[in-house]
């Protein structure tokens, strides 16, 4: 129901407003609606200029205010900043070549010298190196 406003007339004693009966009927209807809403969920429309604020109550008054971290419930755990406190963290590479996966094979210096010595010319050398 929309709010029912009592017509008080254009000025005192002009008899242009609501009768007493009509005025109190409107007042009763407005109060009945409020009392019926007291135990129901009330939808609060968004309020311009209240960005970043929350609707709080003192028990009898609704206010839009900032909320502090200590007032929050179900707040997330703050990150300590330590890598060890992370979950699902990637493994850190040790820096050792042997710890790499899908790494190319390594040729020793001695084997390289043998390949170079066995090469008859530069084209043959390139072919031998490419075969590695």
Q: Which residues pair with 64 in a beta bridge?
A: 55
Q: Is residue 117 part of a domain?
A: yes
The answer to whether residue 49 sits within a structural domain is no
Residue 111, token pair as written in the block: 């084997």
Instruction: Map residue 10 onto helix, strand or coil.
Output: coil
Q: Give the pLDDT score at 6.
A: 93
Does an H or E element contain 62, and which? strand 62-65
> Does residue 89 form part of some domain?
no
In degrees to the nearest 10, what's the CA dihedral of 117, 118, 124, 129?
A: -70
Structural domain contains residue 56: no
Structure token pair of residue 17:
């407003």
Residue 63 · residue 57 · CB < 8 Å:
yes
Q: What 3-state DSSP class applies to 55?
A: strand
What average pLDDT does this structure show over 51-71?
Answer: 76
Residue 28 structural domain = 1-43
pLDDT for position 110: 86
pLDDT at residue 89, as a whole number: 83
Higher pLDDT, 128 or 26: 26
Residue 73 lies in a domain: no
- Report the pLDDT value the prediction gives residue 24, as an integer from 0 to 100: 95
Identify whether 74 is part of a domain.
Answer: no
53: nearest Cα among 30, 71, 29: 71
The whole model's pTM is what? 0.31
The structure tokens listed for 89 are 């963290």
Q: Is 90 within a domain?
A: no
Q: What percentage of residues in the chain have a pLDDT greater than 70?
A: 91
In a domain, 118, yes or no: yes
- When divided into structural domains, the chain yields a total of 2
């Amino acid at each position: 129901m929309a709010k029912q406003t009592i017509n008080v007339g254009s000025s005192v004693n002009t008899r242009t407003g609501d009768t007493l009966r009509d005025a109190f009927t409107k007042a009763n209807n407005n109060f009945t609606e409020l009392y019926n809403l007291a135990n129901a969920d009330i939808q609060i429309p968004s309020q311009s200029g209240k960005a970043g604020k929350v609707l709080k109550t003192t028990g009898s008054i609704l206010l839009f205010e900032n909320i502090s971290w200590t007032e929050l419930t179900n707040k997330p755990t703050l990150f300590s900043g330590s890598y060890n406190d992370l979950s699902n963290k990637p493994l850190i590479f040790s820096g050792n070549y042997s710890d790499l996966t899908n790494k190319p094979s390594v040729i020793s210096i001695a084997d390289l010298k043998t390949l170079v010595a066995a090469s008859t010319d530069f084209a043959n050398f390139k072919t031998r190196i490419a075969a590695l």
